[in-house]
Structure 1
């Protein structure tokens, strides 16, 4: 919309934080964007989150996993790990690039950061914690929901893939089914990592990628309809948050 003058002013650039573990469709979409947009798309990274998860380290080299796996203790008590992935692999690299683009001159309000949160996720709208960055939410200004975003993309001949790490523990079953049915190699990769994280040094209990705390390749991902039950609630992840 910015490229076509429907949201202004024209951005100086876009920034994509690459975790190294996005689906292939996301990287293909990124390539199209870099070719089509009239402003540069900078790609930044804090490392390969998949490799770090297997090594049980975070971006600082500390020995704890940044991804909040689901945990079951030896006594059968359920828990969840610390969530640091968004901050370490997305927000911090983007902030560093923004600071670089203003040559480190972090005066108040030096950067206007557009955040693509739609009305469906308005609860995620938060002010920046950096005084030199002012957040703006163009989609919320226009009261746009995900379906409105999809309609705009279709008008321009685009369709955006769902963006999230392949092994994100916050996938719902619809996302896992989509990965299993449309990207079987990526689903197999998630299953492999799920097996690797099960018993890692320093973790009391077992870790799982799926919220059911069942090995991913054994989870029943069938729909309610497939199980002969009415689907009364559509509580599906929209898959558009970009994490």
Structure 2
């Protein structure tokens, strides 16, 4: 979306882009952002609410209260259960961006305007149309340029290829519980080891706390991450009759 704006295919030209850094993104996300900053005719601001990795499973203030920012899976009596409530998107993405927008508008610490004074573009594609939501505050109006153009993720990738840009990989935190097995496999050796350590820490930190029911895991099977079988059917010697790679869009 940002590159299409730079090419004049979406207008008007944005005043800026804002990237909310959780501190736990894969290396390819930061590499892509570094490239974008050199290509775009408008500034890109990096904002942060701290390091999500360091916040996960932190017990405070005296061991009686548990804070889990991510949607970890809960195992009850050894059986996979549901998810704990998450606040990571709000705390580490939405709120830091909102604070930066207010700063740029000169209204930080002031009463919010009663009418829309900023248009915020959100880069979801038509595959994710269910994520379209109106702005929560009167001073912001949301816009979805890719959906206006009826562009799916595959259309975005074709646009990148036509214009000579490398295909960007999906963006998500290293240890996001919403990862598919393909996304877990795509992590580098170092990134996967990092996720394994955090997965183990989830249980070590929360064990014995009265308000914690069950054990917490990053993988939906509720197994320690380093014990999950991530092999594919082909790895196990089974024939794959599908000619096209799955895009992971069956559920949207």
* TM-score, reference length from structure 1: 0.88
Partner of 1:156: 163
Alignment partner of 2:5 out of 2, 7, 23: 2
- Secondary structure at the residue paired with 1:67? coil
Unaligned ranges ≥5, structure 1:
239-243
String of CA shifts for 1:66-111, please: whole Å, max 9, x gaps: 1110011247461211111111110111111111111115342111
The reply on whether 1:134 has 2:137 as its aligned counterpart is no
List aligned pairs for 1:94-133, cutoff 5 A: 94-104=97-107, 106-133=113-140
Partner of 2:178: 170
Distance in 2 between residues matched to 1:77 and 1:167, nearest whole Å = 18
Distance in 2 between residues matched to 1:164 and 1:170, nearest whole Å = 9
- Secondary structure at the residue paired with 2:67? coil
Unaligned ranges ≥5, structure 2:
none
- Secondary structure at the residue paired with 2:6? coil
Which shows bigger deviation, 226-235 or 103-112? Answer: 226-235
Partner of 2:195: 190
Distance in 1 between residues matched to 2:53 and 2:146, nearest whole Å = 31
Q: Structure 1 residues 51, 175: closer, same or farther in 2, change over 3 A? A: same
- What is the root-mean-square deviation of aligned Cα atoms in Å? 2.1
| 1:234 Cα deviation after fit | 7.2
- Secondary structure at the residue paired with 1:211? coil
| 1:229 Cα deviation after fit | 6.2
Structure with the greater alpha carbon radius of gyration: 2
Partner of 1:226: 235
Alignment partner of 1:89 out of 92, 98, 102: 92
